[in-house]
Amino acid sequence: PYCQALPGPATKEIRRTINLPKECRSVFITYSIDTASEIIHFVKFLTDQGFEPAIDIFDNTAQIMDTTKWMDRFLNDKSVLIIVVISPGYKQDVEGNRGDEHGLHTKYIHNQIQNEFIQQGCLNFRLVPVLFPNARKEHVPHWLSSTKIYRWPQHVQDLLLRLLRKERYIIPQR
C-alpha cells in the first residue's frame, strides 16, 4: 500500500509524533553485533518518533518462532522499510564467513534484500542504509552504494524525512 505522511509545520525542530497510517510505521532493522550498544539508542529514537522498529534483540516473537520465519515476515511485507545499519562488522558478516548465529542471520537478510534490489531493476524503494559512527563509505556493500546513504546521528532530519516518505524540497509546479 502507498503510505503518505500528512504535512506538518515547517520548522527545524524534529517532530515528536507522526501522522502515518499504522501499516507505514513499521521499520525492520538489520545490523551486526558490533553496533548492538548503539542500536538501543537508535531504536529508542525511532520509537519516540512514532515508528515501530522490528529488531531481533527486542522482539520476543523472534525468540519464540523460527527466526527465519520472523525475518521473512518483515522482508516480504513491501510496506515495511528496511534500515540497513552499516558498520565494519556488517561488511564482515555479509562478505566474510563469520560463523556466529547473528552473523548468519545478517547474511541471510543481506542476500534477501540484495535479490529484491536486483529484481526491482536496481531501484531502491525501501532500503535505507545508515552509516553508524564507526563506519565509513567503504563498509557499504557495493550494490547499495548507488543509493542515498544516511549517517547516524548527523543526518537525523533527512533520515526522518525518508522514513516519513517525504521529500525535503518540493518541486514547484509550472
DSSP state of 28: E
At 2 the pLDDT is 42
| Residue 11, in any domain of the structure | no
| Residue 137, in any domain of the structure | yes
| Residue 4, in any domain of the structure | no
At 173 the pLDDT is 81
How many distinct structural domains can be found in the chain? Answer: 1
Q: Which residue range forms the structural domain that includes residue 28?
A: 22-164
| Residue 9, in any domain of the structure | no
Q: What is the pLDDT of residues 103-149, one digit of tens each?
A: 888 999 999 999 999 999 999 989 999 999 999 999 999 999 999 99
| Residue 5, in any domain of the structure | no
CB atoms within 10 A of CB 128: 20
CATH number for the domain that contains residue 140: 3.40.50.10140
Q: Would residue 165 be called left, alpha or beta, if left means φ above 0 and alpha means ψ between -120 and 50 degrees?
A: left
Answering whether pTM is above 0.85, one says no
